[in-house]
Structure 1
């Protein structure tokens, strides 16, 4: 049987427009392993997961992007130091939401870089908050100009987030970038969602583009009620003297106990 292999940048570029890749944001090794076993080809992960030696055992064939907000990392030189460490520990590419100078510097050091356009949560103030970008001619032009600037700086891919599908289609026709669509339509070459959303474990706002496939929140609530009941029953047993019952205690030979008690009594006796 032929073992699946991890995609390369060359593979992604070759399959651009021929195959839709599935991509998820995972936060735990359990989620990473589930994604691997489910056939998810691309993962976004916290940087700490890349540094975990167990990560590649959990997801050996996933093309993996670690990412963090630029303000948590710093300027171009610090971004390069961070990216080199990620690449050293097995990242296939890195997200860079920092400056074009940072993207250019990483690219010059042969680090595969993915930029971010459209709705960028850490920069949403510039585009009017948490809403779609690209619905007007001016904002569609902004998304295009961001894509071209990132491509010219050396990025091989961009995440295009909450942009009208028709705008994404047009950009895909005029750019060689690998487009990772988060709520930006099938014109992207990979579809990207958060595991929290697809598993239904996000109890806050669920984005319009997120499709829910399970209801982990309800299961967590059920488990919490079971947790509370078990703890309450334990408290009752302790207060009523029902725990610990004999079967939960270590027994001893009665003769040993008697001898021990006799010895203790001797210890209490006043010295002559």
Structure 2
């Protein structure tokens, strides 16, 4: 564990620092997942995950579950419109104990944050919220021209001061070539094994929905448990209604009692 002071001047321990991640580029592959609750963060820690990422609003909950994991806080794309909004939110998140800031905004926002020595994760490849410019949700880098344009985007983000990049649904061979040529720490979400970090949403890893995206794989089956919970909830509510109708609930064990003498006194005073 590395000893650090966070932006609130609080002594803390971290499994990795920004400097460590840079030093490990091309040497050791790390794993990353999402965490937005205390339980998700604790599960990631207990599961041996190296890095976590979640919404900046959830920092306090995440830090309770995994105080020592390197945490990247995401600033929601539509939530902070102006540069002042972004900078204020980023400073607040770092003060709360985040280790880096994620933004899906352009290089001008990356540069704004990087000028303040904030480790910034940008987003290249498929950016789902901007998918209208790609003609929908699809892989990026399927042609030489598109791959070169993507490489130029990586260089632009480097020049803006980005520290790392969420590289989403980029053709695997293109990703591998770019990763060896960029100084950015590359986090592959559906972009193959050729990046520095392999990243997957926790809900996809745990199988929390009936189907996973093409780039994901379910390593668990929480969806079946959720379906059981939904079924048992309805069974319980139906049984409760029936028990009331048959005057079986509440029964003696669920009711408070009064002694006969006190009850008789109560009735007498009522009458």
Q: TM-score range by the shorter chain?
A: over 0.9
Find the structure with the greater CA-based Rg.
1
Which residue matches 2:83? 76
Alignment counterpart, residue 254 of structure 1, candidates 242, 260, 264: 260
Structure 2 residue 128 is matched with structure 1 residue 121: yes
For residue 38 of structure 1, report the CA deviation from its aligned partner. 1.0
Which residue matches 1:101? 108
Alignment counterpart, residue 52 of structure 2, candidates 31, 40, 43: 43
Alignment counterpart, residue 221 of structure 2, candidates 215, 222, 227: 215
Consecutive unaligned residues in structure 1, runs of 5 or more:
266-272
State the secondary structure of the residue aligned to 1:64. strand
State the secondary structure of the residue aligned to 2:124. strand
Which residue matches 1:237? 243
Structure 2 residue 17 is matched with structure 1 residue 8: yes
User: Aligned partners of 1:256, 1:24: CA distance in 2, in Å?
Assistant: 63
Given the two structures, how large is their TM-score scaled by the length of structure 2? 0.92
Alignment counterpart, residue 41 of structure 2, candidates 14, 32, 39: 32
State the secondary structure of the residue aligned to 1:73. coil
Given the two structures, how large is their TM-score scaled by the length of structure 1? 0.92
Structure 2 residue 66 is matched with structure 1 residue 59: yes
State the secondary structure of the residue aligned to 2:257. coil
For residue 2 of structure 1, report the CA deviation from its aligned partner. 11
Q: How many residues align?
A: 262
State the secondary structure of the residue aligned to 1:94. strand
Which residue matches 1:224? 230
Consecutive unaligned residues in structure 2, runs of 5 or more:
4-12
User: Aligned partners of 2:78, 2:269: CA distance in 1, in Å?
Assistant: 69
For residue 5 of structure 1, report the CA deviation from its aligned partner. 3.4
User: Aligned partners of 1:37, 1:76: CA distance in 2, in Å?
Assistant: 37
Contact 2:36–2:62, Cα closer than 8 Å, also in 1:
no
Displacement over 4 Å in runs of 4+: 1-4
1:79-158 matched pairs, under 5 angstroms? 79-158=86-165
